Amino acid sequence: MDTVLYSAELVLEDGEYKLVVKNHIQDTVQVAYVAKKAVEKLPMFLSMLHAKQLSGCR
């Protein structure tokens, strides 16, 4: 059975991007505002993580 440790949501609120991260172990939530430029790079970062998994780096 999988155990969720963290979950994250990227929310657009009043024209600003907000990253909401929930720690399911400690039952805490952290919020950080994120620049649009960082949000635009997110698909690239996810692709890099995926590529590392496919190459056997975990």
3-state SS, residue 45: helix
- Please list, in sequence order, all residues whose beta carbon lies within 8 angstroms of the beta carbon of residue 10, skipping any fewer than 6 positions away: 17, 18, 19, 20, 34, 39, 42
Model-level pTM? 0.77
Select the more confidently predicted residue: 54 or 38.
Answer: 38
pLDDT for residue 6 is more than 90:
yes
- Please list, in sequence order, all residues whose beta carbon lies within 8 angstroms of the beta carbon of residue 52, skipping any fewer than 6 positions away: 58
- Residue 58: what pLDDT? 55
What's the chain's average pLDDT?
A: 93
Beta strands, E only, 1-58: 6-13, 16-23, 28-34
